[in-house]
Structure 1
Amino acid sequence: MRIAVDAMGGDLAPQAPVEGVLAAAKEWPDTQFKLVGKPDVLNPLLGSKPSNVTVVEAEETIEADDEPVRAVRRKTNASMVVAGRLVKEGEADAMISAGNTGALMTVGLLVLGRLKGIERPGLAPILPTVDKLGVLALDLGANMDAKPEHLLQYALMGSLYRQKVHGMAKPRVGLLNVGTEEAKGNELTKAAFDLLKEAPIHFIGNVEARDVLERNCDVLVCDGFAGNILLKGMEGAADTLFGVLKKELTSSWQSKLAAAILRPNFRRVRHMMDPKEHNGAPLLGVNGLVVKSHGSSDAVATKHAIRQARVAIGNGLIAALADEFGGK
């Protein structure tokens, strides 16, 4: 396997991507890693570079506040763009970036191109659930506006992803809505409901956001606007809850004693709900494997994104999607 990593994208770049790749290179020596970025910045961070890590030069960087299309067109030597070209030209099996989401979407569309039959690619991260199996949700931010046909394509791609990558024989597909009744929702969800119930998937109907953590479905379908609000709300709630618990459990000696006894339990809960453990959202629908890492990804999160990419490559995800939607 060959994985290109945008070493200059993300809040903690280049330190976090480099450290994440070094950890991954040690754990998976069968994988070749291509760190894309400025050699004079990256080489000092690599130290005694492992044999399965190389640096690919890219002297430009797409910043968080850059206008996506303009940046991708003008900064042709940006690390994100170069990583995309490596996949396009067959020199890498996947690319990972924690950089500008809009720019990554643009790289997917302009550099790699859409799969035949796909109108709008979608970001599909795994949302944590109490049973640790997670919910694949899409779209969670690639497209703010969607048509019913786009939600149908998300459902088909998400269902196939769960089958191919996670081994689910008959993944349950739910439509994010304000109620479970068929007549609920806006014009988009009502029209999408009619399409999904006729699709060759295991559609279980509308689902509400409050039930997602209980894994009331295996694939959650929504437009990027509602999906991104759901994602950020869940992340914010988890951060706030753990922050409050930490404050309360260190407020007195009695609390500290109780916290010491319960520390293993709290660690298991944090591990289960930590976004880092589920980092890495594939951009489904483009002609190559593109994985979006969270903008604030540290080395641990980067390594988990690499793990996601390895599993997708090993299960032939892109080829399966291409076959499903009529070939490349």
Structure 2
Amino acid sequence: MTNHNNSRCVIAIDAMGGDFAPQNAVVGAIEAFHEAKDFDLFLVGKKEEIEKVIKNNKLVFNSDFIVNADQVIDMQDHPAETMKTKPNSSMAVGTKLVKDGKAHAFVSAGNTGAMVINSIFGMGRIDGVSRPTLTAPLPNSKDGFTFLADVGAFVDSKPQHIFEFAMLSSIFLREIYEIKKPRVGLLNVGSEDSKGYKLILETSELLKNSDLNFIGNVEGNDIFKGTADLIVCDGFIGNILLKFAESMPSFLKAAIKNYADKSFSNKLKVAPFKFPPTKAGFKESLSKADADNVGGLPLLGVNGISIIGHGSSSTLAIKNMVLSAREMHNKNLITKIKEELSQYAKQK
């Protein structure tokens, strides 16, 4: 393998990551590879199992781009311990490809905590970043997204960490989603400046004194309103919010079905949501929150592109994870983050 730092985009995927690996990971990644045709792909994992999936699904892929890794990190493995107990895992090997300049990105639907740890120690952090963040899009009522950071890269944070989440995510929104000056809100129990505990009050001061487009405190009910483009919080709260939000589409569908099943008159009342052709429209309106379309979440702040998907990722979700990594590379996201953080450090 040659160094690809200054050439064609190269993406490595954890073929062993996810509840349905290697099947979904291999098929989804190769689908993205053949659709885009403008990047190279490494499949990282147990070579024999990967080749079996390729053969069984009659896929076309050059076996020279299969990178053998004979250990697999399971969902129940303790993230920090995997660095020592499974040094030849698909995650460890994949992140090292990025560190060594043989790939620009690594994506995985495996153990989230292990992927965070392996990305930090495998790729390293960008200068000026004390803690990376997982940044997630949530659909809002303005037909767009409200982004939430951090949603679980770390469960405890200091004011400086949350400030960095805001910086990293603002650059991400500007470069990838073309939001020129993202509105940043700090999640709190009220909009007043005096509200909140020490972490919130100190973080608020950092945000106020920055060049970020800080609009002040926002509350939980602002998330779906689209009051801010980006809402920052510590990873413990963010992860709870993300999982709550992800449960909403299935809850709404179930609630409508349960109501309709009680009587014929109820069926008529919910007909716009229940029956064709509007059933398809209802499903499509909720699709922004669908993990298949989101694909995976970027771990911002590490020295390379790292995208983490759901353990239950489908073939489509994997495909979209890979295509997201390609877009981040093509838009020079990592370079833009480095440049902006370097400028910030000089101003301090």
TM over 0.5: yes
Query: Equivalences for 1:2-151 in 2 at 5 Å?
Result: 2-47=10-55, 48-51=58-61, 54-151=65-162
Equivalent position SS for 2:286: helix
User: Which whole-Å CA distance do the structure 1 matches of 2:183 and 2:114 have between them?
Assistant: 32
> Of 180, 189, 194, which aligns to 1:183?
194
- The residue that corresponds to 1:302 in the other structure is 318
Over residues 150-176 of structure 1, what are the superposed CA-to-partner deviations in whole Å (9 max), with x where a residue is unaligned? 111111111111111111111111111
- How many Å separate the matches in 1 of 2:153 and 2:341? 20
SS of the aligned residue for 2:121 comes to: helix
Kindly indicate whether the alpha-carbon contact (under 8 Å) linking 2:291 and 2:313 is maintained by their aligned counterparts in 1: no
Per-residue CA deviations over 1:33-72 (Å, capped at 9, x if unaligned) read: 2111111111121134434783211110011111112212
Q: Secondary structure at the match of 1:69?
A: coil
Query: Between the two proteins, what is the percent identity of the paired residues?
Result: 37
**Alpha carbons 1:127, 1:134 under 8 Å: kept:** yes
Unaligned regions of 5+ residues in structure 2, if any?
1-8, 344-348
Summarize the alignment of residues 208-219 of structure 1 with structure 2, pairs less than 5 Å apart: 208-219=219-230
State the aligned residue count: 328
Cα deviation for residue 222 of structure 1 reads: 0.8
Distance 1:100 1:218 in 2: 28
How far has the Cα of 1:250 moved from its partner?
6.2
Distance change in 2, residues 1:178/1:238 (3 Å): farther
- Give runs of ≥4 in structure 1 deviating > 6 Å: 250-254
Moved more, 16-25 or 152-161: 16-25
Tell me how far apart the structure 1 counterparts of residues 51 and 261 of structure 2 sit (CA, whole Å).
42
Any idea what the Cα deviations from partners look like across 1:211-258, whole Å, max 9, x if unmatched? 212221111111100100110111123222222334445677783975
Q: TM-score, normalised by structure 2?
A: 0.88
- Greater Rg by CA: 2
Q: What's the secondary structure of 2:179's corresponding residue?
A: coil
The TM-score with structure 1 as length reference comes to: 0.93
Contact map agreement 1:25 1:50 (CA 8 A) in 2:
no
Rounded to whole Å, the distance in 2 between the matches of 1:135 and 1:218 is 5
Alignment RMSD: 2.1
SS at match of 2:93: helix
Against the structure 1 CA distance between its residues 44 and 222, is the aligned structure 2 distance closer, same or farther, given a 3 Å change threshold? same
Shift of residue 261, structure 1, vs aligned partner: 3.7
